Amino acid sequence: MDERRTVKVSRYLSKHLRHQPERIGLTLDPAGWVEIDTLIAAAAEHGFRFTREELDHVVATNDKRRFAVEGTRIRASQGHSIDVDLGLPPATPPPYLYHGTVAGALDSIRETGLRPMSRHAVHLSADRETATRVGARRGRPVVLAVDAGAMHRDGHVFHVSANGVWLTDGVPPRYLRFADPG
């Protein structure tokens, strides 16, 4: 399976497992799972054919391990815009987490903090390198540090997805460090 095909199938899975399952007549369960056979059949019916082997290859080789397979089912590990309850247990974050964004968003972020925008939760990274890559999707990256330790002490709830992305409902401005906390 070549790289272009892998990316194409991966994008297709992201779109329908995170954002628009109804576009191909799929219904995800409340935790975001769907039967793999049902997904493959629905995709084929809507003009996009891929095999179980191709799906397994995408799941196994995906750069961010975006998808989880459990038995006969698959789901996206994070990144949903549709309402799902991933059922992840609350987790204790490390003292600092990081968020990659771009300069154009900073005024608004200073005012309202980090918000989930179109996604289900704010996505935070455990390391600066990952946050830099996330920010770079939109332009020259700016990395903010989040005082996750203080948020946690103050009662904010964190979850960590199966692929290591930290999720929380929102980050109020007082927990954001616009300069390196060291």
Q: State the Cα–Cα distance between residues 64 and 45, nearest whole angstrom.
A: 28
Q: State the Cα–Cα distance between residues 21 and 174, nearest whole angstrom.
A: 37
Residues 153-182 binding ligand HQG (CB under 6 A) are 165
**Mask 78-97, x = binds ligand HQG (CB under 6 A)?**
-x------------------
Q: State the Cα–Cα distance between residues 23 and 84, nearest whole angstrom.
A: 17
Rg over alpha carbons for the chain, rounded to the nearest Å, is 18
Q: Is 32 in the site for ligand HQG (CB under 6 A)?
A: no
Of positions 101, 120, 148, 167, contacts ligand HQG by CB under 6 A? 101
**Mask 53-72, x = binds ligand HQG (CB under 6 A)?**
-----------x-x------
Q: Look at the block and give the residue holding tokens 């946690």.
A: 152
Q: How far is the CB of 5 from ligand HQG (least distance, A)?
A: 18
Q: Is 146 in the site for ligand HQG (CB under 6 A)?
A: no
- Terminal CA-to-CA distance of the chain, rounded, Å? 43
Nearer to ligand HQG, 37 or 129 (CB): 129
